[in-house]
Amino acid sequence: MTEDPTATFRVEAGELLDQVEQGLLDLGHRLGDMALVNAVFRGLHTLKGSGAMFGFDALAAFTHHCESAFDRVRKGEVPATAELVSVILSARDHMAALVDGAAPQAEGDAILARLAAAVEAARGGGAPAEAAPVGAQQGVRLFFRLPADAMANGTNPLMLLDELRELGEAEVRVRTDTLPPLGALVPNECHLGWDVTLRGDITREAIEDVFIFVMDDMTLEIAPLGDAAPAGVVPVAETPPATTIAAVAPVAAPAIVASAAVSPAVENVRVPADRLDALMDRVGELVIAQSRLSQLANNRHDLLLRSVTEDIERLSGELRDTMMVLRMVPVSSLFGRFRRLIHDLARDTGKAIELQTSGETTEVDKTVIERLFDPLVHIIRNSCDHGLESPADRIAAGKSETGLVRLSAHQAGGEVLITIVDDGRGIDRERVRAKGEANGLIEPGQQIADDELLGLIFHPGFSTAAQVTNLSGRGVGMDVVKRTIESLRGAINVASEPGKGSTITLRIPLTLAIIEGLLVRVGESRYVIPLSAVEECLELSLEDDLRSRGHSLITLRDRLVPFVRLRDLFSTGTRPDPHQKIVVVATGRERVGLVVDQIIGNHQTVIKSLSAFHRGVGSFSGATILGDGNVALILDVAQLVAMAQPREETLRAAS
Amino acid sequence: MPQAKQRAEAAMAATDTSWNARGELEVLTFDIGGETLALEATMVREILDLLPETLVPGAPALVRHVVNFRGRIVPVADLRLAFAMEAGETTADSRIVVIELPIDGEPTLIGLRTDHVREVATLNAGASEEAPAVGMRWQRDYVRRLVRWRDDLIILPDLTAIFAAVLSPRS
């Protein structure tokens, strides 16, 4: 498999840029936080370095300027200012464009000019942040240990020691306590640790600077040389290595221990999604083969065979569960991207907006996450643009000046609920009604349930914004959002309270790859009905069956529900079973009963797509493979419901 | 001139047959409804014994069923319908030839129901001719070339044209 190395770089750069962006957004709130400054600096530095390595020279050159500016902040020559952060944010966007290879030079120059101005302004503006010295005059004692693969990653411990020596008079001792026996020693792994005693006025920041590029994985402990230990008689060498730290810690009154990676970092491997898909397919096949094996084993009275079969059954089940989890990513990767959106929206609308997120650790299938991004952007834009009022209006309404948008996720069964809440003015029902009447969606003066009225905003071409802004209000939003969510087999719901705000709830299946379904038999074929759409199952009584010959409606709790005889729809040509069942399915408010011959049971399975020949058939959204290796088609509930609806309308009109 | 135009159109409608430099083409030959057909060997993925098939209600007659081909849902085509042949009984020789063909821009696996798979043969461009305009029982644009081979006349079907006719419109 040959991979374009620049593609790898693009992925890496994308992550670095995200990291830089998050760092900058945080820094915008906490201008004095040097850890954030360092994090941003490191991101920029790495981007510059690998950019140059992969031949992205324009990117490297541009990033270099930003890095230099940030270096001055890091060194405390210039304080971080809001303006500076904002310029670097726009520079970040320019870098992203450079990575994609489509960035006008003039734009970059303009940003650099703004950057220079921002640095100049910052320098005049405030005193540089005071770097606190760690050990007053005395000096510091530190211990560091590099990860075993440090040398393989290009870190040279000798250079680090040299840099430490440059800080002041240094005494270096090596610790060999973790050295493996010679037989087990891998020569290019680093198992040494170093105790360094530095004398002079040395700041903690200066020491951390030395380790800035290896900080994440290493162990670093810094303690001031206490008064108790007379200068020059530090008994480092005398004490057995293992007790050194214990000896140091109590001496230093405010002991600062900065071990950057106390818990071993989880290693990550980047795998192309299609390989995961291939693996998923294999696992699916294995599960099918296993269930055939189980069937065979059950027909024989061979205890040994059965016990092996049970083992394989358990293992393949576990393998499938593990496989499902592999594709799951936390929604934090999705939510994180909206902080920037809110930042920009606040700037463009002149409103003060705060974004609160919760439930970021909820995990969802990666494909679902990717396809949720655009709908969520639309919803958040709507909330900020239409929902939230201007600061003056908010104060007049007795609310705090800052508008709140809350984004939260939590898992409920096989679904994830994502809610977007704003505390704005709420949806103006009168305007929705007026607009609906103008568009002919509802009759003037027609009585309509509240949620149906709010549901009108999901109709194509619907927009209540009196004025079309560049953010939203072009009427292409919510219907697209609804379609996207439904294509993910999800549902969208809106609630709103005048003056208090709106809540939009998305219900999304955890994964698109598996489906929890109800297996039914129609004629001689078996079909799967997505369980999420199933409301209830009941028997089609003989009298209902006979009575409904002429029409296709049953009364279900005082409501007429249309039903479809799947046997007729699929022209099975078989005689109906004596005890037919009705599976009532629903999308939104619309319900339809599907008449089947037999309900076989629950069935969880991998969804397979249909070929181009069968995609347009309409009644089916996919297929799945049953335990015996046969194919069962998955019913497209939305299509079936839509198919059944017009008939209901005509019946209503006729009666 | 009109003749030349017609020929150009026919050439455009028909899928290109890629004879190699020596004017040869390696094919798999198989029987359907008493005729021998051939397809480029490079197109063939696998030859399977008959599998349990699942009917797709509402699907075009040509591709009415699907099978589970090692975890993938593969449509099964009955080419007899394209060539107006009579439906035959399945026999011990019946096989499904799985081929890969770009359909609607994506490579698609399709199973072809055959009565008997013969062999891999090398056809000669010199022994091939265009489908005659008259006197043929089959729809002309479904046939790329007719090739004489030993004592037989082999049909090189134009699968792209055959399947384009039943392709459901993209929603």
> Which value does ipTM take for this structure?
0.84
The answer, yes or no, to whether residue A241 has pLDDT greater than 60, is: no
Provide mean pLDDT across the span A255-281: 64
The answer, yes or no, to whether residue A76 has pLDDT greater than 90, is: no
Highest mean pLDDT among A323-332, A353-362, A636-645: A353-362
Task: Find the CB nearest A612 among B58, B74, B103.
Answer: B103
From the CA of A304, how many Å to the nearest CA of chain B? 28
Q: Which of A603, A588, A598, A595 is nearest to A633 (CA)?
A: A603
Tokens representing B165 are 């006719």
Provide mean pLDDT across the span A196-212: 79
Q: Do B72 and A288 touch (CB under 8 A)?
A: no
Q: Do B171 and A615 touch (CB under 8 A)?
A: yes
Q: Which CATH class is domain B2-167?
A: mainly beta
Helices (H), A199-272: 204-210, 241-251
Q: Indicate which of B55, B162, B171 best probes the interface with A, i.e. most A CBs within 10 Å of its own CB.
A: B55
Q: What percent of chain A has pLDDT over 90?
A: 6
- Give the tens place of pLDDT for each residue, A91-138: 888 888 888 877 778 888 888 888 888 888 877 754 444 444 444 456
Higher pLDDT among residues B76 and A555, named by residue: B76
Higher pLDDT among residues A1 and B171, named by residue: A1
What is the structure's pLDDT at B3? 52
From the CA of A256, how many Å to the nearest CA of chain B? 58
The answer, yes or no, to whether residue A240 has pLDDT greater than 80, is: no
Q: Do B73 and A617 touch (CB under 8 A)?
A: no
Question: For residue A280, what is the nearest residue in chain B, using CA coordinates?
Answer: B71
What residue spans define the domains of chain B? 2-167
Q: Do A614 and B66 touch (CB under 8 A)?
A: yes
Task: Find the CB nearest A629 among B56, B68, B163.
Answer: B68
Q: Do B59 and A569 touch (CB under 8 A)?
A: no
What is the rounded CA–CA span in Å between residue B73 and residue B51?
A: 12
What is the structure's pLDDT at B38? 93
What is the structure's pLDDT at A463? 60
- Give the tens place of pLDDT for each residue, A460-490: 767 655 444 444 444 456 777 888 887 787 8
Q: Name every chain B residue with its beta carbon within 8 A of the beta carbon of A620.
A: 56
The answer, yes or no, to whether residue B136 has pLDDT greater than 80, is: no
Provide mean pLDDT across the span A526-544: 85
Question: For residue A634, what is the nearest residue in chain B, using CA coordinates?
Answer: B56
Q: Do B58 and A609 touch (CB under 8 A)?
A: no
Higher pLDDT among residues A350 and A133, named by residue: A350
From the CA of B63, how many Å to the nearest CA of chain A? 7
Query: pLDDT class for A586, splitting at 50, 70, 90?
Result: confident
The answer, yes or no, to whether residue A234 has pLDDT greater than 60, is: no
The answer, yes or no, to whether residue B88 has pLDDT greater than 90, is: no
What is the structure's pLDDT at A461? 67
Q: Indicate which of A525, A631, A633 best probes the interface with B, i.e. most B CBs within 10 Å of its own CB.
A: A631
**A360 and A409 in contact (C-beta within 8 Å)?**
yes
What is the rounded CA–CA span in Å between residue B40 and residue A62?
A: 54
Q: Which of A103-107, A339-343, B124-128 has the lowest mean pLDDT?
A: A103-107
Locus of tokens 């009644």: A619
What is the structure's pLDDT at A133? 44
Q: Indicate which of A286, A292, A614 best probes the interface with B, i.e. most B CBs within 10 Å of its own CB.
A: A614
Task: Find the CB nearest A525 among B54, B108, B166.
Answer: B54
Q: Which of A316-325, B102-111, B117-126 has the lowest mean pLDDT?
A: A316-325
Interface contacts A/B by beta carbons within 8 Å: 88
- The residues that bridge with B27 in the sheet, in sequence order, are B40, B121
Higher pLDDT among residues A2 and A325, named by residue: A325
Q: Do A609 and B70 touch (CB under 8 A)?
A: no
Q: Name every chain A residue with its beta carbon within 8 A of the beta carbon of B74.
A: 611
Q: What percent of chain A has pLDDT over 70?
A: 85
Query: pLDDT class for B18, splitting at 50, 70, 90?
Result: confident
What is the structure's pLDDT at B168? 53
The answer, yes or no, to whether residue A302 has pLDDT greater than 60, is: yes
Number of other residues whose CB lies within 10 A of the CB of residue B128? 19
Q: Do A612 and B67 touch (CB under 8 A)?
A: no
What is the structure's pLDDT at A476? 52
Q: Do B66 and A625 touch (CB under 8 A)?
A: no
Spatial CB neighbours of A579, under 8 Å, sequence gap ≥ 6: A539
Tokens representing B121 are 């043969």
Provide mean pLDDT across the span B94-103: 92
Distances (CA, A) of A44 to A137, A211, A381: 34, 16, 30
**A612 and B77 in contact (C-beta within 8 Å)?**
no
- Give the tens place of pLDDT for each residue, A402-451: 889 999 998 876 678 999 999 988 888 888 888 888 877 788 877 888 87
User: CA quadruple A469, A474, A476, A481: dihedral positive or negative?
Assistant: positive
Provide mean pLDDT across the span B64-86: 89
Tokens representing A199 are 């004398």
From the CA of B111, how many Å to the nearest CA of chain A? 12
Q: Which helix (H) or strand (E) holds A191?
A: none
Question: For residue B168, what is the nearest residue in chain A, using CA coordinates?
Answer: A616
Higher pLDDT among residues B71 and A255, named by residue: B71
What is the structure's pLDDT at A226? 60
Provide mean pLDDT across the span A304-311: 90
Q: Do A608 and B73 touch (CB under 8 A)?
A: yes
What is the structure's pLDDT at B75? 94
- DSSP secondary structure letters along A263-312: SPPPP-----HHHHHHHHHHHHHHHHHHHHHHHHHHHS--HHHHHHHHHH
Highest mean pLDDT among A41-55, A64-78, B146-160: B146-160
What is the structure's pLDDT at A588? 65
What residues of B are in the A interface, CB distance below 8 Å?
52, 54-60, 63, 66-68, 70-75, 103-104, 106, 108-110, 163, 166-171
| Mean pLDDT, chain A, whole residue set | 78
From the CA of B165, how many Å to the nearest CA of chain A? 10
What residues of A are in the B interface, CB distance below 8 Å?
281-282, 284-285, 288, 525, 569-572, 608-620, 623, 625, 629-633
